[in-house]
């Protein structure tokens, strides 16, 4: 029997989940998204839309009435309401609750023997000073909730910055963790279906600027030992978290090639966009397969790929000219967002080694040339 799917969030991730559902017409009858922005990206891809806040109880109840299964593309859902619904929810509200609070997430991972940087809860400015004495500088001060893409992080490198950092968060619940001197940021996209089957995609390398992902390189340029260790950590993480779906597991590789988990996203992930062309099964189709209880698809990497985000420039905010890229082996995906804002994710492109004849440095060079040629320009 076909299922009605509800998604909390209708941004670009919801859009690509909606598009992936076209491959599963025998399983899904319709998709409805809850999103505050009228004509959100997912609705442009064919999803019905309920306009409302992600945490609005009435809007969530309305979504539940129209859904057999509910999932999410953003961590901001109201877990108190979700936990009371009769609809099937994947991943589980209990997992979402753990991940929404960065301190709870770190405690959960640590208690389950998963590697994380040393961390503490912060209750006052004096408490922060004391914890920094123990951890040593630099540290990262973090908002425990409602922070992603680096928003809600403040790196403290000197004692002069401690009070400024604390005041920056204006009374929010905080945690602090020892800054990891990493040589690389990596991630694993992992999936588990409702029957407990687990699959992981190959490790990828991520390059961030201003705390926002700019480039993903698939596969990561690391040793076999790092690949093996990261895969084992990802599988163990999936074994201890409840619920089905795709998870993005962000990790650091430190200077000694030791792996530490940075954060976990209980949803499809920006660093998995390469799978649209690089793998037999995209992360978006995989997420649907997982929550529907279907067999998971192949995660084999078929083509080396470099993914680049297209971000709104700092220079302006407003409507912008259409972006076009016409080049063999380059796949452009724009998200249908009318307004450009500084650092807003407007789209991405994948540079794909279709003939398996290029090395990663060639793909990166191509990506850099395209990135420099693609400009977000005001619509005059």
pLDDT tens profile 314-328: 999 999 999 999 999
pLDDT band at 171 (very low <50, low <70, confident <90, very high): confident
Q: What is the pLDDT of residues 27-58, one digit of tens each?
A: 999 999 999 999 999 999 999 999 999 999 99
Provide the pLDDT for residue 328: 95
**Domain 182-373 class?**
alpha beta
Sign of CA dihedral 306, 307, 313, 314: negative
Provide the pLDDT for residue 237: 97
Q: What is the pLDDT of residues 245-302, one digit of tens each?
A: 999 999 999 999 999 999 999 999 999 999 999 999 999 999 999 999 999 999 999 9
* CATH code for the structural domain at 118-178: 3.30.1490.20
pTM: 0.96
DSSP 8-state code for residue 308: E
Provide the pLDDT for residue 149: 58
Q: Are 100 and 121 in contact (CB under 8 A)?
A: no
The domain locations on the chain are: 3-89, 118-178, 182-373
Q: What is the pLDDT of residues 17-31, one digit of tens each?
A: 999 999 999 999 999
Q: What is the pLDDT of residues 136-168, one digit of tens each?
A: 999 999 999 876 655 689 999 999 999 999 999
Q: What is the pLDDT of residues 218-248, one digit of tens each?
A: 999 999 999 999 999 999 999 999 889 999 9
**The CATH number of domain 3-89 is 1.20.1290.10:** no
| Distance (Å, whole) CA 249 – CA 187 | 5
Q: What is the pLDDT of residues 67-121, one digit of tens each?
A: 999 999 998 888 899 988 988 999 999 999 999 999 999 999 999 999 999 999 9
Tell me the pLDDT of the chain averaged across its residues: 95
> Helices (H), strands (E): how many in the chain?
12, 20
Exposure pattern of 318-332 as b/e (b: 16+ CB <10 Å)?
eebeeeeeeeebbbb
């Amino acid at each position: 029997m076909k299922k009605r799917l509800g998604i909390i969030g209708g941004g670009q991730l919801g859009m690509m989940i909606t598009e992936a559902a076209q491959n599963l017409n025998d399983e899904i009858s319709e998709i409805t998204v809850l999103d505050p922005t009228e004509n959100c990206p997912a609705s442009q891809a064919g999803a019905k839309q309920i306009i409302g806040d992600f945490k609005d109880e009435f809007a969530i109840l309305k979504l539940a009435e129209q859904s057999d299964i509910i999932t999410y593309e953003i961590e901001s859902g109201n877990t108190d309401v979700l936990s009371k619904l009769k609809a099937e929810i994947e991943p589980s509200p209990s997992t979402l609750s753990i991940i929404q609070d960065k301190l709870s997430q770190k405690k959960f991972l640590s208690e389950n023997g998963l590697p994380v940087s040393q961390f503490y809860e912060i209750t006052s400015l004096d408490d922060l000073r004391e914890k920094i004495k123990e951890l040593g500088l630099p540290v990262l001060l973090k908002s425990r909730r409602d922070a992603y893409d680096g928003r809600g992080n403040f790196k403290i490198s000197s004692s002069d910055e401690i009070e400024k950092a604390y005041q920056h968060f204006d009374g929010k619940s905080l945690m602090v963790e020892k800054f990891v001197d990493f040589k690389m940021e990596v991630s694993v996209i992992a999936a588990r279906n409702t029957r407990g089957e687990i699959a992981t995609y190959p490790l990828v390398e991520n390059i961030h600027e201003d705390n926002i992902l700019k480039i993903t390189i698939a596969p990561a340029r690391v040793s076999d030992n790092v690949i093996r260790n990261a895969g084992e950590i990802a599988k163990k993480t999936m074994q201890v978290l409840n619920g089905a779906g795709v998870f993005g597991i962000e990790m650091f590789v430190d200077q000694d090639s030791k792996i530490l988990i940075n954060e976990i996203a209980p949803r499809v992930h920006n660093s998995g966009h390469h799978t649209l062309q690089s793998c037999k099964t995209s992360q978006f189709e995989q997420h649907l397969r997982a929550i529907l209880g279907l067999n998971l698809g192949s995660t084999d990497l078929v083509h080396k790929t470099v993914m680049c985000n297209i971000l709104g420039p700092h220079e302006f905010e407003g409507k912008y000219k259409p972006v076009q890229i016409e080049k063999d082996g380059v796949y452009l995906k724009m998200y249908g967002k009318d307004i450009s804002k500084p650092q807003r994710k407007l789209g991405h492109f994948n540079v794909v080694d279709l003939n398996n004849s290029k090395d990663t440095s060639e793909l990166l060079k191509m990506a850099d040339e395209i990135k420099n040629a693609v400009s977000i320009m005001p619509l005059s």
